[in-house]
Amino acid sequence: EAQLVQSGGALAQPGGSLRLSCAASGFTFRNYEMIWVRQAPGKGLEWVSYISSPSTVIYYVDSVKGRFTVSRDNAKNSLYLQMDSLSADDTGVYYCAGRKFWSESFGMDVWGQGTTVTVAS
Amino acid sequence: EIVLTQSPGTLSLSPGERATLSCGASQSVNSNYLIWYHQRPGQAPRLLIYGASNRAPGIPDRISGVGSGTDFTLTISRLEPEDAGVYYCHLYADSGPLPFGGGTRVEIK
């Protein structure tokens, strides 16, 4: 069964850093392009970042550019999101998700369970 | 930037009724890239529909999608309690992140 297991969410101070991880199992991770999506409390979904496989194409939403860095290690079947200079606006549940890059479906068909990031002093 | 606008904001219907959800794009889009997700409370989103009208594996045929250009519709016939939650439309793009639609909340009476 395809599965993404997330970790790394925590309480962080404004200006602080966190590193989120997303571990893949049950499928060939290197064949998947991956995204990070976040959801502020009581709000909708927000696309945060995209990374291709290999990591040749990377995108960020404007609000996190220069502060967040997405990366992946296909040998370890893992995706990461390094989050620096955190602010209260970054508070929310963060999801990793992916799709096989040659799939006819452009929807993300495997999702992590989410990890909660809270930025507060 | 393309904006996706969903309506209505909330639907409150009884089991067995039909739900019609709309997603409008601010400009014409490639329907192959139009996606619908369903998020139940406290859960991660789940892929429902891809390419505007194709059901993802395991999605029942009482859930269907249609549309092209700027107007897309998700229909849930014969609502069941498990259909409660928020439905989001989204547009895949190979040129960078695009916002999700604002979502439609479906409440089952």
Best mutation target, B30, B72, B92, B105, to test chain A (most A CBs within 10 A): B92
Please give the pLDDT value at position B98. 85
* CB interface of B with A, residues 35-64, below 8 Å: 35-37, 39, 44-47, 49-51, 54, 56-57
pLDDT tens for each residue of A6-50: 999 999 999 999 999 999 999 999 999 999 999 999 999 999 999
Which residue numbers in chain B have pLDDT < 50? none
Name every residue whose Cβ is closer than 8 Å to that of residue B58 and which is 6 or more positions away in sequence: none
Q: Which of B35, B97, B102 faces A61 most closely, judged by CB atoms?
A: B97
Residue A110: band (very low, low, confident or very high) from pLDDT cuts 50, 70, 90: very high
* Dihedral (Cα; A14, A15, A16, A20), 10-degree rounding: 90
pLDDT at residue B26, rounded to an integer? 96
User: How far is the CA of B103 from the CAs of A90, B6, B37, B106, in angstroms?
Assistant: 20, 6, 9, 10
| Confidence (pLDDT) at B1 | 85
Q: Which residues of A touch B49 (CB under 8 A)?
A: 107
The per-residue pLDDT for A95 is 98
Which residues partner with A73 through β-bridges? A78
Q: Give the separation between CA B71 and CA B32, rounded to whole angstroms.
A: 13
Interface contact flag, B45 A47, Cβ < 8 Å: no
The shortest C-alpha distance from B102 to chain A (Å) reads 6
